[in-house]
């Protein structure tokens, strides 16, 4: 899949995510290298960031932790923690979750989920295998031209697509 966009695109390497599904915690470490012009230059940048319930944080190169206060960023990190089969299924099975708009599309059943802590997601499940095939969430980011779509697709193989509107995707199929 290729993305037809003017947004910033990064090559991600050394990606590692630690999830605590029961505790509502996630920590992500990655190295991002811009593949499009970037105001910070083209050098790779190491990022270490996380979320613990309603608290998000960043860790700089010297190990200093700072709390993130921007609600949009906190919400985006909470949504991102559900982009894994274990966490999305756990969230869907929570009695406090709201499950709506069940629909079929091709070989997938698609369901909108409002998690117990208010995160809005869309889950797709393969009709044959009954396994999750994708999770989609919407978030906003002042650094990426406003609202964007974030999705993990095709077996949750660490493929994360971030795209600014109008969400133009092309696929070789």
Beta-carbon contacts of 90 under 8 Å, excluding residues fewer than 6 positions away, are: 21
Q: Is this prediction's pTM over 0.85?
A: no
- Distance, in Å, from the CA atom of 134 to the CA atom of 62, rounded to the nearest integer, reads 36
Q: Which residues pair with 153 in a beta bridge?
A: 134
Q: How far is CA 118 from CA 1, 43, 82, 139, 172, in A?
A: 30, 37, 12, 13, 36
125-159: pLDDT as tens digits: 989 988 888 888 876 655 544 555 555 554 444 33
Q: Which of 86, 124, 120, 117 is nearest to 102 (CA)?
A: 124
């Amino acid at each position: 899949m290729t993305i037809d966009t003017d947004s910033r695109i990064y090559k991600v390497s050394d990606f590692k995510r630690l999830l605590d599904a029961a505790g509502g915690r996630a920590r992500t470490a990655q190295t991002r290298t811009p593949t499009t012009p970037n105001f910070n230059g083209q050098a790779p940048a190491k990022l270490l960031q996380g979320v613990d319930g309603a608290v998000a944080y960043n860790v700089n190169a010297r190990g200093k932790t700072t709390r993130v206060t921007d609600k949009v960023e906190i919400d985006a990190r909470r949504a991102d923690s559900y982009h894994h089969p274990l966490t999305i299924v756990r969230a869907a099975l929570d009695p406090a979750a709201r499950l709506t708009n069940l629909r079929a599309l091709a070989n997938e059943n698609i369901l909108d989920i409002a998690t117990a802590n208010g995160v809005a997601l869309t889950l797709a499940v393969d009709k044959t295998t009954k396994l999750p095939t994708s999770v989609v969430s919407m978030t906003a980011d002042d650094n990426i031209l406003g609202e964007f779509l974030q999705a993990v697709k095709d077996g949750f193989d660490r493929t994360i697509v971030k795209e600014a509107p109008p969400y133009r995707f092309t696929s070789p199929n």
